[in-house]
Amino acid sequence: MKSGTGDDRIAPDMLSLERIIGYKLRRAQLAVFQDFLDSFSQMELRPAEFSVIAIVARNPGLKQAAIAQMLAIKPANLVALIDGLQKRSLIERRKGDTDRRTYALFLTDAGERFVARMFGTWRQHEDRLIERLGGTAERDRLLDLLDRLLGQAGPDGD
Amino acid sequence: MKSGTGDDRIAPDMLSLERIIGYKLRRAQLAVFQDFLDSFSQMELRPAEFSVIAIVARNPGLKQAAIAQMLAIKPANLVALIDGLQKRSLIERRKGDTDRRTYALFLTDAGERFVARMFGTWRQHEDRLIERLGGTAERDRLLDLLDRLLGQAGPDGD
DNA sequence: TATTGTTATACTCTATAACTATA
DNA sequence: TATAGTTATAGAGTATAACAATA
């Protein structure tokens, strides 16, 4: 197969940004992150911090390298992120007992309480997005389409 | 109405990143941009440069302030972008004749030829994304959902 | 006085290389 | 010798304030 998609091929002057996947994807992502930032401004939580806390909450004891891989970020860039959360006493590093080069991450008690608040705020944010989309069925459809863009690897837990 | 969406409300331990709109949106956007960067590495064109050229190609004579507004970027950050494209002799600034504070932007002849190449490369990139999505119908559905996330303002040209 | 484009600057995010302490 | 985490650093992208030219 040559093109494979049977697409509506058009002339160069038809290069409208409004119909370009990457452009629209970027704009939508920025709008969603802005809503997130507004929602969490009082808690002073950024998306990357949210994602780390969410992973540690669901997978206590995970090593930093594993978290970096799940988030597709460099281990080097995870350090300051975890430093900040540790300084706020939300998560703690515990030396691995079998391999003492590693750190296993856990929520502190304050971290557990923080997660409860975080979840409430996130739920409001997410509901707002779902409302904009038109409902949970549209949300599911969107997640499915985004998964397709992400390539073969389907959802595999966080 | 309280929540308004009739959502599948869940416990805090259900905070799986795989089901979070903003997270999946960000990952998909990064994947799409990576495909774009790979596609355009030989032409040395970044997404922001692509978007400026696409707008000037479709709207010759537009002022910088108008372009900045369409792209939702700060006019200050547009300057270096246009400087670079001008140094590559792809676009040119012409003093506005009614308001001589402004610059109207146009493609050069080389710029016109560049757009033709750019369009071909972009078409391959976009076809690859459409193929991943499953076809143009799915692409249209995705664009529609992303427009909903972007709020009330519907497609309004670029 | 207000606006367009510009410069300078700072802050965030991300990527790489080199270091340390363990293995 | 290789790996986990760390440090330092450089490059993008983006935001604000101040300036010159013009309105």
Q: Write out chain B's pLDDT in tens, 158 residues.
A: 444 455 665 565 678 999 999 999 999 999 999 999 999 999 999 999 999 999 999 999 999 999 999 999 999 999 999 999 999 999 999 999 999 999 999 999 999 999 999 999 999 999 999 999 999 999 999 999 999 999 864 444 56
A86–chain B nearest CA distance, Å:
20
Q: Which of A45, A121, A57, A119 is nearest to A85 (CA)?
A: A45
* Residues whose CB is below 7 A of strand D: A 63-65, 68, 75-76, 78-79, 82-83, 93, 99, 101-103; B 46-48, 73-74, 76-77, 98-101
pTM for this prediction: 0.93
CA distance B2 to B30: 35
Instruction: Name residues whose C-beta falls within 8 Å of residue B143's C-beta, 6 or more positions apart in sequence.
Output: A19, A21, A24
What is the average pLDDT across A127-148?
Answer: 98
**Nucleotide D12 C1' to residue B2 CA (A):** 43
Contact check, Cβ <8 Å, A18/B155: yes
**pLDDT score of A118 more than 80:** yes
pLDDT for B154 = 41
Query: For residue A143, how many other CB atoms are within 10 A of its CB?
Result: 20
Cβ B121 to strand C below 7 Å: no
Q: Which of A3-12, A75-84, A138-147 has the lowest mean pLDDT?
A: A3-12
**Residues of chain B numbered 98-137 and touching chain A (CB < 8 Å):** 115-116, 119, 122-123, 126-127, 129-136
